[in-house]
């Protein structure tokens, strides 16, 4: 029986194989070449993509600048169009306003011409002294400005003169009430308004209406050598050709 000494080292004899080293070196070299080739391919591919990206980025920047210029030009064109439209609209409004004013003046002149022809024309109807119209315009603190127009075309060569008064009928606190000439002028001894004219005259002045008084009608009375004339008007009664009469009377 053999006795083995455990304290002694163990040795194994391996035969030398040089071709294995060569294979390993060749494999490593192949892997290295393959890695270099793959790296070079990736580098070329990435470099090409980077160049394309840079070219695309440059093109995009050019298109952006061109689009920005076009947008600025469109904004300027829009601003010019809006400015031109505003100027055109303003000019059109001014023209329309001027035309409306001229039409109004023309209508007034036609009405005035008809009035004058009826008043002094040879074909107009002859009439004696009459109250043509009575107008009232509100002012401050309850005051009213009145305009009373008198006309006649019978006494062509002479002057018609006399005095004018008027009373106003209305309602106060639910009751009918008449405010007389003296009360309207707030003067117990107020004289009538004098007039003297050949064809027409407008009498203007101011009166005060009582508080809580609603006017409904005005009764105008004229007195003079011709006798007496009286005529009533509704408070809202329109009065034609008043503006022209005022202008003509100022010239006279």
- Is the model's pLDDT at 30 over the cut of 90? no
CA distance 180 to 187: 11
Could you tell me the two tokens for 110?
């036609």
CA distance 235 to 225: 29
Segment 81-131, tens digit of pLDDT: 888 888 988 888 888 888 888 887 777 677 666 666 656 555 556 778 889
Buried b (16+ CB within 10 A) or exposed e, 177-197: bebebebbbeeeeeeebebeb
Segment 43-66, tens digit of pLDDT: 666 666 666 777 777 888 888 888
Distances (CA, A) of 86 to 47, 76, 79, 81, 228: 57, 15, 10, 8, 62
- Is the model's pLDDT at 163 over the cut of 90? yes
Q: How many helices (H) and strands (E) does the chain have?
A: 3, 8
3-state secondary structure of 151: strand
242-251 and 18-120 helices cross at what angle (nearest 10)? 60
Q: What's the half-sphere exposure (Cβ side, CA atoms, 13 Å) at 65?
A: 5
pLDDT for 242 equals 45
SS3 content of the chain, % helix, strand, coil (to 5): 50, 30, 25
CA distance 140 to 76: 53
CA distance 137 to 236: 10
When mean pLDDT is compared across 113-117, 179-183, 198-202, 248-252, the lowest value belongs to 248-252
Helices (H), the chain: 18-120, 181-185, 242-251
Could you tell me the two tokens for 128?
């004696």
The C-alpha angle 81, 84, 88, rounded to 5 degrees, equals 135
pTM: 0.52
Residue 29's pLDDT band, with cuts at 50, 70 and 90, is confident
Mean pLDDT value across residues 224-243: 73
Residue 145's pLDDT band, with cuts at 50, 70 and 90, is very high
Query: Per DSSP, what are the bridge partners of residue 163?
Result: 194, 223
- Residue 207's nearest CA partner among 151, 157, 136, 156 is 136
Q: Report domain extents, the chain.
A: 19-124, 126-251
CATH classification (class only), 126-251: mainly beta
Mean pLDDT value across residues 181-186: 94
- Residue 148's nearest CA partner among 130, 160, 162 is 130
Q: Is 164 exposed, middle or buried (0-12, 13-18, 19+ CB in 10 A)?
A: buried
pLDDT for 209 equals 92
pLDDT for 247 equals 46
């Amino acid at each position: 029986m053999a006795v083995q000494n455990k304290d002694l080292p163990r040795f194994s004899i391996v035969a030398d194989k040089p071709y294995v080293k060569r294979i390993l070196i060749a494999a490593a070299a192949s892997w290295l070449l393959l890695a270099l080739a793959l790296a070079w391919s990736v580098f070329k591919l990435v470099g090409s993509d980077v160049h394309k990206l840079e070219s695309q980025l440059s093109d995009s920047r050019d298109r952006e600048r061109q689009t920005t210029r076009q947008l600025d030009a469109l904004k300027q064109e829009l601003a010019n169009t809006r400015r031109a439209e505003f100027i055109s609209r303003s000019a059109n409004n001014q023209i329309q306003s001027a035309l409306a004013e001229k039409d109004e003046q023309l209508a007034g002149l036609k009405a005035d011409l008809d009035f004058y022809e009826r008043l002094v024309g040879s074909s107009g109807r002859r009439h004696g002294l009459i109250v043509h119209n009575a107008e009232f315009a509100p002012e401050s603190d309850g005051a009213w400005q009145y305009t009373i127009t008198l006309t006649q075309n019978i006494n062509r060569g002479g002057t018609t003169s006399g005095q004018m008064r008027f009373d106003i009928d209305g309602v106060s606190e639910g009751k009918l009430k008449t405010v007389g000439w003296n009360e309207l002028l707030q003067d117990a001894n107020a004289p009538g308004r004098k007039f003297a004219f050949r064809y027409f005259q407008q009498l203007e002045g101011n009166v005060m209406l009582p508080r809580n008084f609603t006017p409904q009608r005005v009764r105008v009375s004229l007195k003079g050598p011709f006798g007496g004339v009286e005529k009533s008007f509704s408070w809202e009664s329109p009065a034609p050709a008043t503006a022209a009469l005022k202008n003509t009377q100022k010239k006279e």
